Amino acid sequence: MKTYPYLFLDLDGTLSDSAPGIVRSAQYALEAFGITVSNPDDLLCFVGPPLEDSFQDFYHFTPQQADEAVKKYRERYEVTGVYENALYPGITDFLDAARRAGKTLMVATSKPQRMADLVLRHFGIADRFAFVGGRDDATRRTKEEVIRYVMQCNGLTDPSQIVMIGDRKHDILGARAVGLDSVGVLYGYGSRQEFEAAGATYIVNDLDELQRLLL
């Protein structure tokens, strides 16, 4: 088993169960386009991937429509949705154990940078991370770009020293594009089939398995 000094972690669906706020904000945005979604589970596809991708992939929006939908989404999310969120049970213990084991923890998320910082401060776990890298609409729109940004900002040039941990295929594909190994976590919103198709290096069921794998 390889050892990884650096652990990159996704935020939504990996550190926190952010589905309620994301789903309700996606409903709000879709309603602005005359689309009513009565079953919230139908919108779980919005948890994890870049928002534009979800509006285009699942509701066939044009890029321009997707940009407008993201603006509507943020109208609600940045005021209310961001707080409709909870850390996964045991995640703080895992982060603390990883730090005791000498791991350097960093966040690599498709959530906008300022919202990622806000969420981590809200839950009181910002101090567990050496660096937080989020989306920037101008320069970092994909997971691959976010991961590269985190590496560049921290002078990390050896991909073999890093593993990306996430709950959706975008985490796995972004890691592969940069040459990182990856872990798909099944306690989030992805499936084993999704991770296998994306080429995850490892797949774990829960935080106990993740800890045994990496620590």
Q: Among all residues, which ones are annotated catalytic?
A: 10
Between CA 95 and CA 129 the distance in angstroms is 9
CA distances from 138 to 7, 113, 145, 182 (A): 26, 12, 11, 26
Contact 120, 126 (CB under 8 A): yes
Contacts of 15 (CB under 8 A, 6+ apart): 9, 87, 88, 91, 107, 125
Q: Is 108 exposed, middle or buried (0-12, 13-18, 19+ CB in 10 A)?
A: buried
